[in-house]
Amino acid sequence: MKAAVIRKFGEPDVFDYVDVDTPEPKVGEVRIKILATGLNRIDHYLRLGGVNPNMSFPHILGSDAVGVIEANGLGSSRFQIGERVIPMPGYPLDSKDDDFKPMSAAPSYLIRGVAEWGTYAEYMVVPEKWLVKDETGLADELVATLPMPLVTCVKAIKVVGEVKKGDTVVIHGAASGTGSIGVQIAKALGAKVAATIRTPEKEAFVKSLGADLVIKTESENFVERVNAWTEGQGADMILDNLGGRFLSDSLKALRPLGVLVSMGMVTGMETTIEIFPFFFAQQQIRGSLMGDIDDLRWGLEQVKAGKIKPTLDRVYELYETRDAHARLAAGVAVGTIVLKP
């Protein structure tokens, strides 16, 4: 099969488009013919060597995909040949951890493409228990934008952030693949949403997602804007996928007893917070990684109902993975970048 592989860490030009062995499904697994795969920010960090420095080469990156069942391994019977499916972006490798809650805290949990070969290829094998039937009715490239942003944000906003109808929510990096889905999840839950972006050219896109307030962080003080928007009370919940100074500044825009969910580090891996106002206001900082299969199913139900729409930036052919990653690294995408084998 054809695949985009890396043989070392580095810039986007480390990708090669080559032939590799087509994987064979083992007991309980199925082989999927990949129709499209979505790029995520973690792919960028993996390529640079910042997530798994002990990666074995050659390696295939990628966590998200939509495809059709191409072959069933021994004992696999849940899906028929040709049926459209969406794999979980991550799952426990040890069956003993199948019922671990939350799944992402299981000892053997791993995001696909981190150590095992991922989705930048024509085929992949997946345990059938970590597949969800694709009933969205959407085009391949649209479905491919969904899995990781959807399952991650459902977990972070609905489960960890406990957002409910009437809450005020801030979504940072709202024009990104993850942020754009996060805005829609918060709206689907009945929240009022303030969304931050860097530059004004992304404002119309974010407003189209349903954001009630759009804040341009390069020219506006988001803390002041959020506090004015909430009449000095602060937001009930803030989703921070940026890290760095945005995490510490976000506490200044968070109400007493409010929840800040940290799930990213785009602008930095370190920050400093003022301890006294933090504990005096009894605020909470909660980390969130990845959701369970039920979170993915809930998100896909919202997609099917039209409450959440995929946000596609651009489609590249698999042999153009270098170009796709250059765009990912530049941080200019509006929505999710997709590869098609």
Please write down the HEC assignment for all residues of the chain.
Answer: CEEEEECCCCCHHHEEEEECCCCCCCCCEEEEEEEEEECCHHHHHHHHCCCCCCCCCCECCCCCCEEEEEEECCCCCCCCCCCEEEECCEEECCHHHCCCCCHHHCCCEEECCCCCCCCCECEEEEEHHHEEECCCCCCHHHHCCCHHHHHHHHHHHHHHCCCCCCCEEEECCCCEHHHHHHHHHHHHCCCEEEEEECCHHHHHHHHHCCCCEEEECCCCCHHHHHHHHCCCCCEEEEEECCECHHHHHHHCCEEEEEEEEECCCCCECCCCCCHHHHHHCCCEEEECCCCCHHHHHHHHHHHHCCCCCCCEEEEEEHHHHHHHHHHHHHCCCCEEEEEEC
Residues 275-300 have a mean pLDDT of 95
Q: What percent of the chain has pLDDT over 90?
A: 92
Residues 252-266 have a mean pLDDT of 94
155 pLDDT band, cuts 50/70/90, is very high
pLDDT for residue 264 is more than 90: no
pLDDT for residue 80 is more than 90: yes
What pLDDT is attached to residue 268? 79
What pLDDT is attached to residue 46? 97
pLDDT for residue 269 is more than 90: no
CB-based contact 9:56 (threshold 8 Å): no
What pLDDT is attached to residue 259? 98
CB-based contact 76:82 (threshold 8 Å): no
Residues 95-105 have a mean pLDDT of 93
Average pLDDT, the chain: 96
Residues 261-287 have a mean pLDDT of 91
CB-based contact 68:82 (threshold 8 Å): yes
Q: What percent of the chain has pLDDT over 70?
A: 100
What pLDDT is attached to residue 197? 95
- Per-residue burial over 86-103, b if 16 or more Cβ lie within 10 Å, else e, is bbbbbbbeeeeeeebebb
Rounded alpha-carbon distances, angstroms, from residue 176 to 235, 304, 306, 317, 330: 21, 21, 20, 21, 12
Least Cα distance to 334 among 317, 309, 312, 302 occurs for 312
CB-based contact 166:267 (threshold 8 Å): no
CB atoms within 10 A of CB 109: 18
What pLDDT is attached to residue 162? 98
What pLDDT is attached to residue 339? 98
In the block, residue with structure tokens 């002990």: 54
pLDDT for residue 172 is more than 90: yes
What pLDDT is attached to residue 173? 93
pLDDT for residue 338 is more than 90: yes
Rg (alpha carbons) of the chain, rounded to whole number: 20
Residues ≥6 apart with Cβ < 8 Å to 206: 174, 175, 180, 183, 195, 197, 214
Residues 60-70 have a mean pLDDT of 98
Residues 144-149 have a mean pLDDT of 97
Rounded alpha-carbon distances, angstroms, from residue 313 to 37, 209, 316, 318, 328: 13, 14, 10, 16, 10
